[in-house]
Structure formats: C-alpha cells, structure tokens
Amino acid sequence: MKVFIQSIVAQILLNPYIFWRGYQAIPPKKSWRIPYILFFILELSIFFFGFTFRNVLPDSVMIAIQYICNTWYIASIYITLSLLGLEVLRLSNRFFHWFPGWITSHWKQTKLVLFFLVMAIVTGLMFHAYHVVAYPVVKDVYVTLPKGSSNRDSMTIVMMSDLHIGEMIGKELVQQYVKMSNAQHPDLVVLVGDIMDYESRFAEKAHIEEDLKQLKAPLGVYVVYGNHEYRANRIAKYRWLKKTRATLLIDSVARPDSSFYLIGRDDHINKKRKPLHVLMAGIDTTKPIIVLDHQPWSFTEMTMNGVDLGLHGHTHNGQLWPYPLVMKLIYECPYGYHKKGPVQFYVSSGIGIAGPPYRVGTVSEMIVLHIRFAN
C-alpha cells in the first residue's frame, strides 16, 4: 500500500509538471508527441491497475508493478529537481541576461538537448541508486570500550539493521548478506530491527529463515524488534523470527559469554516497553554493556544508566537525497558514530531499504564492529 501512496504524490504533484515541460521541449510532431503521451498514459494505467486489484493479483505481478511504480516515483523526484534547477537558471537570465547568444537564438534546440540531458542523467542516477542497494558495502568501525573483560581483549560483531525482507528484498539478497557476514568471521551477529518489511508471507514462502540459519558466529545471532515488526501480521512475524533460531531479545538481557552483557530493547513504537533501568536491575555494571535498540531516541537514557555502547538503525540516513538533510533535523545522530558523555553509539543506515529499491546519497551497509576492551 505504501508504494501506491508514494506514487500518488508523483501522479498528482509531479507528473503534470514533468509532462508539461517535456511536451514543450519535444518537437511538435506526431512521431514525437504520440509516444510521449502514450508513455504517461501507460504509467498511469499501470498505477491504477495495481492500486485497484492489489488484493487479488498474484504476488509476482504485484512485485513487478511495484518495481515500475517505485522506479518512476524516484525518477520523477529527480526529474522535477532538475527541472526546477533549470527554471531558476531561466528566470535568472531574465534579469541578468547571461545566456550566450547561441542559446537564446536556438531556444527550441536547447530545450530538446536539455530534455535528453535530464533523461540521461536521471537514468544513470537510477542505475547507480539500484546498484548501491544490490551491492552493500562492508564498513569497519573500531571501538574501544572503557571497561575491561576477564577473558577476552577484543571481539568482532557484525551488525545489520533494516533488512526489510519483503517484496523488494528477497531470498537472493538475504543469501548475499549471509555470505558477507560469514566472510567476516564474527564472534557475534546482531540484527537490529526491521527484519521484515510489511507482510510476512514473502519471507515465509521463500523460506528465508533457512538462509538466516546459515549465519555463523560462535557467540550466537541476536535479533531485536523494529517498528516494522509491529506492522501487519505481528504474530506471524514473531513465529517466523523464532524459526531462524536466532535469539530474540524483546526487553531482555543476554550474556553471550561472561565478558559482557547484551541488552535487547523492544521497539520505541511500543509505549509499554520497559525502561532501561528496569532491564539493568541486577546487572554487574563493571562489565561492558551493549544495548540493541532499533530507533535512536534513547541516547540520554543510556548515558544515565551505565551503558557502554548503543547500536541502532531505523533512519536509513534518509535513504534518498535530500532526505538525509531532514534526518539531521529530526535525530541527534541520524547516521554513523556518535559519543555522548561516556557512551558510544553507532547508527547504521541499514543494509536493506524501505519502499523503493534505490539509494541516492546514502549507502546500504553491513557494519563490522572491531571492539577492544580496556585492560
């Protein structure tokens, strides 16, 4: 449903403007205008067909429709931004007359060249944006915790957040994530929320739990809830996560070994989740404490409770530019390493995506935490 809500924005706000400016740019010939008009009619027809019959169409058909709608939705954003940039240049020329004569004397040809230039740039951008999602990067992060460990000097943790398994992120990508993780030979793997997207049936039908079972780490694999675990089929998602054989931490504490504590918080969306100080009752705070909390809202709470390291996801760092700029206004730290008082944090942009399978100005990433314990 979300993809269609997003596409409505393109249909109502962006498409008319893009159509109008493109129609002005192409030659006034039927051989140009008829295909141009048919493109917009076809895109609109696919959108309304998918929206009308979304509850009865086979999943494979709906996934194809969502790819088309998603792709045009993202492309229309960057076409519009490009056109608005050209509008600014055009209007500035009215006041400063800075366009060279060969442009003003060949205005029709200039508009056609700009039409193809914008299409080429946006097409290239879309290929790159898809490539970023299809081939996540491995990012090494080095952290020294102030507390010592009795039986180890260091530890490697693979952190993945926001897999969003569903229509867009399927079995092939998850298998790729597992291979990437195992290649790091981690001591511990943590999945920090939003393992699924909206519906659980895509993961169930593809038996993706069998792929997640292949994650290898001597200290185990641990999972916490994200906000998407609360969206649609909540019970089915819980049962499916249990099938992965990972340890599900919902407001609970684990000790993968005697050297540190791992606290998994329920998601922030659950207003009845336990306060951090309740979860930490009885914990030996002289030992390192690592907290998994999907949404990065609880920095202050962690600084008040003796936590050493907080690991988060959720923000996607905005996923698509210019949204990273908005994220900076919303979150204290929307992405990357952050330190507040004695506590260190890392907020991942996520290995998967929400909605459109594209990223612009952000990365799909797997975090490899190289942790050293103080002597």
**What is the rounded average pLDDT for all residues in the chain?**
91
Q: For the segment 351-363, what is each residue's pLDDT rounded down to a tens digit?
A: 999 888 999 999 9
Is residue 216 domain-shared with residue 182, that is, in the same domain? Answer: yes
Is residue 113 domain-shared with residue 143, that is, in the same domain? Answer: no
C-beta separation of 344 from 310 below 8 A:
yes
Q: For the segment 266-299, what is each residue's pLDDT rounded down to a tens digit?
A: 999 999 999 999 999 989 888 999 999 999 999 9
d(CA 370, CA 187): 10
Q: What is the pLDDT of residue 314?
A: 96
Last residue of a domain, one of 72, 100, 132: 132
- Residues 137-151 have a mean pLDDT of 89
What is the DSSP code (8-state) at residue 198?
S
Last residue of a domain, one of 112, 132, 152: 132
Residue in the structure block whose two tokens are 């404490």: 289
> Which residue segment(s) compose the domain that 228 sits in?
137-373
184 — pLDDT class (breaks 50, 70, 90)? very high
What would the two tokens of residue 119 be?
């299409």
Q: What is the pLDDT of residue 375?
A: 66
One-letter amino acid for residue 60 of the chain: S
- Residues 98-108 have a mean pLDDT of 75
Q: Say how many domains are in the chain.
A: 2
Is residue 178 domain-shared with residue 315, that is, in the same domain? Answer: yes
Bigger pLDDT: 335 vs 43: 335
CATH number at residue 325: 3.60.21.10
- Residues 166-178 have a mean pLDDT of 94
Is residue 194 domain-shared with residue 303, that is, in the same domain? Answer: yes
What would the two tokens of residue 31 be?
């051989």
**Phi, psi dihedral angles at 352 (to 5 degrees):** -105, -160
339 — pLDDT class (breaks 50, 70, 90)? very high
Is residue 294 domain-shared with residue 217, that is, in the same domain? Answer: yes
Is residue 68 domain-shared with residue 153, that is, in the same domain? Answer: no
Percent of the chain's residues with pLDDT above 90? 69
Last residue of a domain, one of 97, 132, 167: 132
Query: Hey, which bits of the chain come out as E strands?
Result: 137-145, 154-160, 188-192, 221-224, 247-248, 252-257, 260-264, 289-292, 309-312, 336-340, 343-347, 365-373
Is residue 126 domain-shared with residue 156, that is, in the same domain? Answer: no
Q: Is the dihedral of CA 204, 356, 364, 198 positive or negative?
A: negative
